[in-house]
Chain A
Amino acid sequence: MGRKYLLGNEAIAHACLESGVDFVSGYPGTPSSEVIDVLRIQPDRSYYVEWSVNEKVALENALAAAWCGIRALCTMKHVGLNVAADPLMTSAYTGVTAGLVIMSADDPFAHSSQNEQDSRCYAHFARIPCLDPASIQEAHDMIPKAFSLSEEFGLPVLFRPTTRICHSKGDIEISEPVEGLRKGEFHKDPRQYVVIPAHTRLLHKKLNEKQPAIRKRLVELGYNRYTIQGKTAIIASGIGATYVQELLPDGVSFMKIGAYPIDEEWLGDFVKKHEKILVIEELAPEVEEAVRQAAGCVPVLGKKNGFAPFEGELSPQAVAAIMERAGFLKKNPLPLGDPLQNLPPRPPILCAGCLHRVAFYAIKKVFRDAVYPSDIGCYTLGLQLGVVDTTICMGASITVASGIFHAGDPRDIVCTIGDSTFLHTGIQGLLNAVYNGANITVVILDNRITAMTGHQPNPNSGMTACGAESPPVSLEAICRACGVIFVESVNPYEVTGMVTVLQEAKKRKGVKVIIAKQLCVISARRAGIKRGSYQVNPEICTGCGTCVRFGCPAIEFADERARINDLCSGCAVCAQLCPVGAISREGKK
């Protein structure tokens, strides 16, 4: 079909089309989200596609589809695989009839994540094949193979790109899409699909018996390959292999690992032909451990003896430094640059007019000395406003709040959670908090969209992944059904109203829920909502700094006066905060 300049995730999505995918599910998470974002907007789709409410739900849906004999893709970020770990582990026992590819995108350096875990460990743990691309082209080319491999062995295949694959671009050779069939049918076979002890013991044995053939097949597929060029060797995986190839000196052998499990015999043959081996890979020492087992007395240099770091991501300069340290480069061709110090940092920040900022402002005003557990989403940026005390994983705001309460902390506890996160794994925490008598205030920051990952719809948005209208979900009704008595919805742009409701909640005992509802400003702008913009009258402004401390990027301070720049989205909150009435809508008095 030709070459196109594509984002890694676009190339992966296109490869799914070329593979005749029938069923797609997933939950958004950086760096994985664009795969479904591309698939859900294709015209004339022959396949089914959904944004699921969480990764466990997504994987169980996709697994069922693969049991019905149609090709299924399930996407998530690495930490999403923790949520989906329960079905993952047993799906290796039940197996699949048509291809099931689980894409779990890792994020070395935690560019947009809460940790640096390695999805390859899950494949190892579940004993399923794992493909680990070194470039976008390879990622693209691996997808059809991943489906056929899954069908050949009757096992889910874990496909594990990283941020530098998903969010890199390149000129990629693509092929014509193939139309899927989507004529699934479930054939009853309790010994396969009902994992009671008597069945599962046999299924476990079958899973183990598949392993040697998988290892051999992966070598045949050519994802694990080598060239012998000398007495020393570098073994590398993922994008690290690409960086090594750019720097590899003459006379050094090179092995590239792109698929797991690695065949020990094949690996051992290579290792034993060398006098020194350097292993370069991101995240866990997954390859290094296999190499060490195969190495016998051949010295192996890697993470475990300090030649390569356990943390962070690789880069050409990081790989050059490792190769120099290990004696594979005499002179480092990529010395680290010298960044200028003392420049003010520019971290990401809540948008001008974001509902989260004003909700946090009101929370802080009413609950001065409180504990503020929070959650995963744009609102984690409330850290800069001093209203985010904890963030662990999706849904862990309400649970941490009730845990802190039951631990005996005498302060007020106010937690914040977004609508998508609440529907992902927040509801159980709320139910548990009510059931067990916690005394906490829960503020649901309801912007009706999954904003951080690129504005994917969720059950609260009123439409499906493909834009079809969906039944409205009432967050109020969900909270009441969990047993919450105090459930109030407010428009956070009305600061006094938001403060009054919080004050009311503060007086009461038990679990109180406040739903702060306002469209995400980015969604509002895309929907064409215009609120005008605001300006400061320098004659009236006293330079007190109240509006500046609010922390909105549209508000600047120069020459002892506040000033509103063109980022203003017209939320009017600063006009309500100004003690002297110096802020008004442009063109109005």
Chain B
Amino acid sequence: MSESYDILIVGIGGQGTILASNILGEACLIEGRHVKGAETHGMAQRGGSVESHIRIDGLFGPLIPPGRADLLISFDLLEALRYSHYLKKGGKMVVNRHLVLPTSVFTQNLPAPTQDEIIEALKKHALCLLDADTIAEEAGSPLSQNVVMLGAASQSIPLEPESLLDAVKRLVPKKTLEINIKAFEMGRKFGGTCR
């Protein structure tokens, strides 16, 4: 087995998981490291549950096997729970305190766990729970929540924060540069309180 650092980013189609994965990939290039990734395109992007796999120093396939992820970054509470079996023993979780219930819950009256129940269940892992939406708004735009999440996760990712920030600068639209730099730094600062 190869020794890669495996990150699974999950969320709901449209939340910006792909940009987050691109930033990680770019940061690996900056450090001259190999990286492999896999992501969801097509039908599932329409508001469905989506996943991005990133394997830093990965040499073989792009998929992280269940029970092997070093880090799970989730943009939604329910999705964090859905993919929690991907974490390895001792793996870390960075989760946005944000819950969008699937529409099926309302249209078909399906039972759904409450926010508190989900958080309780996630606590058996090394959990960093943050309110990325509020932090993103403070940074200047709710759209920067994906960069806030990366900033918080950067405390665990084996890449230099400078490389990640450089990658953010290369990949976000120019007119949102300042907001995203701030979003990354505020996220990173919050992530520092999680350890």
Judge whether A556 is part of the interface by a CB distance below 8 angstroms.
yes
Chain B residues numbered 43-64 whose CB sits less than 8 Å from any CB in chain A: 43-49, 58, 60-63
A5 touches B22 (CB 8 A): yes
Knowing A316-B61, A339-B85, A347-B104, the reply to whether A168 touches B37 (Cβ < 8 A) is yes
Q: Among A223-231, A251-259, A330-338, which stretch is in contact with chain B?
A: A330-338
Judge whether B67 is part of the interface by a CB distance below 8 angstroms.
yes
Partner among B41, B49, B67 whose Cβ is within 8 Å of the Cβ of A346: B49
The number of inter-chain residue pairs (CB within 8 angstroms) is 167
The total of chain A residues at the interface (CB under 8 A) is 57
Judge whether A239 is part of the interface by a CB distance below 8 angstroms.
yes
Q: How far apart are A546's CB and chain B's nearest CB, in angstroms?
A: 12
Write the B10-26 contact mask toward A (1 if CB under 8 angstroms, else 0).
Answer: 00110000000110011
Knowing A343-B78, A347-B48, A381-B46, the reply to whether A112 touches B106 (Cβ < 8 A) is no
B46 touches A351 (CB 8 A): yes
Q: Among B107-115, B150-158, B175-183, which stretch is in contact with chain A?
A: B107-115
Chain A residues numbered 546-575 whose CB sits less than 8 Å from any CB in chain B: 548-549, 551-553, 555-557, 565
A239 touches B61 (CB 8 A): yes
A247 touches B1 (CB 8 A): yes
A242 touches B60 (CB 8 A): yes
Write the A168-180 contact mask toward B (1 if CB under 8 angstroms, else 0).
Answer: 1111000000000
Chain A residues numbered 25-57 whose CB sits less than 8 Å from any CB in chain B: 30-31, 34
A334 touches B39 (CB 8 A): no
Partner among B28, B40, B84 whose Cβ is within 8 Å of the Cβ of A340: B84
B44 touches A348 (CB 8 A): yes
Contacts of B194 in A (CB 8 A): none
B86 touches A345 (CB 8 A): no
Q: Tell me the bound Cα distance from A454 to B18 in angstroms.
A: 14
B2 touches A246 (CB 8 A): yes
Judge whether B66 is part of the interface by a CB distance below 8 angstroms.
yes
Contacts of B61 in A (CB 8 A): 164, 239, 242-243, 246, 315-316
Q: Tell me the bound Cα distance from A397 to B79 in angstroms.
A: 35
Q: Is the interface of A mostly helix, strand, loop or mixed?
A: loop
Contacts of A343 in B (CB 8 A): 78, 81-82, 113
Judge whether A436 is part of the interface by a CB distance below 8 angstroms.
no
A349 touches B65 (CB 8 A): no
B60 touches A344 (CB 8 A): no
Q: How far apart are A481's CB and chain B's nearest CB, in angstroms?
A: 33
Q: How far apart are B137's CB and chain A's nearest CB, in angstroms?
A: 12
Judge whether A452 is part of the interface by a CB distance below 8 angstroms.
yes
Partner among A34, A171, A316, A342 whose Cβ is within 8 Å of the Cβ of B35: A171
B66 touches A317 (CB 8 A): yes
Knowing A339-B82, A346-B48, the reply to whether A170 touches B63 (Cβ < 8 A) is no
B46 touches A170 (CB 8 A): no
Judge whether B103 is part of the interface by a CB distance below 8 angstroms.
yes
Q: Tell me the bound Cα distance from A10 to B131 in angstroms.
A: 34
A348 touches B103 (CB 8 A): no
Q: Tell me the bound Cα distance from A556 to B65 in angstroms.
A: 34
Q: Tell me the bound Cα distance from A324 to B25 in angstroms.
A: 33
12 contacts between A and B (CB under 8 A): A5-B29, A30-B41, A169-B25, A171-B34, A246-B2, A315-B63, A339-B66, A340-B84, A344-B105, A348-B46, A384-B104, A556-B106
Beyond A246-B61, A337-B85, 15 additional pairs, beta carbon < 8 A: A164-B38, A169-B37, A170-B35, A334-B65, A335-B67, A336-B66, A340-B81, A340-B84, A340-B121, A343-B113, A346-B78, A348-B13, A349-B102, A351-B46, A452-B42
